[in-house]
Amino acid sequence: MTTLNASLFQNMSFVHPEYFYINGFTGIPLSKFYFVFLFMTYIIAVFGNSFVLFVILTDRSLHTPKYIGIFNLALADFGETNALIPNLMKTFLFDSQYISYNACLANMFFVFFFSNVQALILVVLAYDRFIAICSPLRYHAIMNNFSMLAASMGVWSFSIVLIGTTVALITRLSFCKTNEVKSYFCDHGPIYTIACNDNTINSVMAKLCSVLFIYAPLVIITVSYLGIFLAVSKITTWDGRIKSLKTCVSHLIIVGISFLPVISTYISALIFTLHPNTRIISTSLSSAIPPMVNPIIYVLNTNEFKDFLLKTLKNRLNIKVRVLAK
């Protein structure tokens, strides 16, 4: 009985390091210039998404299902940018590559949480476009403010539960061989693979998250657009077809920017042996670029945002003219 108790106690005891060592970008020439680029993407992403959030909040005409979805996308982009880039730049620009165990888990949660919310909100927006084009007469009955708010809350809640569970399961791992993480942040895969006890459940959760937040959203969005293209092909006039497709352009571009780099990296890793630095740069770019580009695309391709900018500029010019006239 004593031997059995000792065995159980040993299995229940987990070795947690005080710190993890993040070794990403090691040996990459001219990496300082890459960090300058990341800093620029960070500034643009923060101001761009803040602008989108502010416009949607203040302009009552934008309190519609589509813009509620865009608001949630901008909020997820804002969160992902702030969870990833400042910590990344602090780590490597200031040679602070050690991160405490608890801070590492917090960083892991927030990076994956916001990026996965982004993926699922894109699915919700794809469904919004599908209903708008394929069932325009029923659009307001199906896609109203309440249903969009409910769908958005469901996305945030689902992501909290699944990512929270995934990160919490890291605490049952022991790290008795190394604390070196071969990534540019506290990445889930590189961390659970260096554990020295059974990590089967962590591997299962990693695959489940990949399916639910990468492959399934891409498949659903693709099916939605196949339905949209089929519906558009039945429109008799070219003007009608172009008008319908114009409402999808911004969403399609964002979907391509968000998913194609990640999918390309996954496929390349299966076919070729990628150098760790190649994987790190490609995945960091696929995380940093979408939050920067998304608000630019929506501002440039959406009349409501352009009208808001024009009104703001006109008001400022009128104020300056009045001041000069006095």
Check whether 197 has a pLDDT greater than 50.
Answer: yes
Per-residue pLDDT at 321 = 59
> Across the chain, what does the average pLDDT equal?
85
Tell me whether residue 118 is exposed, middle or buried, using C-beta atoms within 10 angstroms of its C-beta: 0 to 12, 13 to 18, 19 or more. buried
Check whether 126 has a pLDDT greater than 50.
Answer: yes
Strand stretches in 176-286, DSSP E = 180-181
Per-residue pLDDT at 284 = 83
Check whether 316 has a pLDDT greater than 80.
Answer: no
Q: At what angle do helices 276-301 and 31-58 cross, to 10 degrees?
A: 30
Domain at 16-325, CATH homologous superfamily: Rhodopsin 7-helix transmembrane proteins (1.20.1070.10)
pLDDT tens digits along 140-151: 999 999 999 999
Task: Please name the residues in contact with 63: beta carbons below 8 A apart, sequence gap of 6 or more.
Answer: 56, 145
d(CA 109, CA 164): 7
Check whether 6 has a pLDDT greater than 50.
Answer: no
Of the candidate ranges 91-100, 213-222, 302-311, the one whose mean pLDDT is the lowest? 302-311
The three-state secondary structure class of 237 is: coil
Amino acid, res. 20: F
Q: Could you identify the residue written with the tokens 């999808």? A: 248
User: Which of 51, 41, 33 lies closest to 86, judged by CA?
Assistant: 41
CB 267 within 8 A of CB 95: no
Check whether 212 has a pLDDT greater than 70.
Answer: yes
pLDDT tens digits along 79-118: 999 999 998 888 877 778 899 999 999 999 999 999 999 9
Amino acid, res. 6: A
Per-residue pLDDT at 75 = 96
pLDDT tens digits along 22-49: 988 777 776 777 888 888 999 999 999 9
CB 117 within 8 A of CB 72: yes
Per-residue pLDDT at 3 = 43
Bridge partner residues of 257 (DSSP) = none
The three-state secondary structure class of 270 is: helix
pLDDT tens digits along 224-270: 999 999 999 888 888 888 888 888 888 888 898 888 888 877 777 67
d(CA 168, CA 161): 10
d(CA 246, CA 180): 48
d(CA 299, CA 51): 9
Q: Where are the domains of the chain?
A: 16-325
Confidence band, pLDDT 50/70/90 cuts, at residue 312? confident
Per-residue pLDDT at 269 = 67
State mean pLDDT over 121-146.
92
> HSE of 184 in the Cβ direction (CA atoms, 13 Å)?
32
d(CA 163, CA 250): 28
pLDDT tens digits along 260-291: 888 877 777 677 766 667 777 778 888 888 89
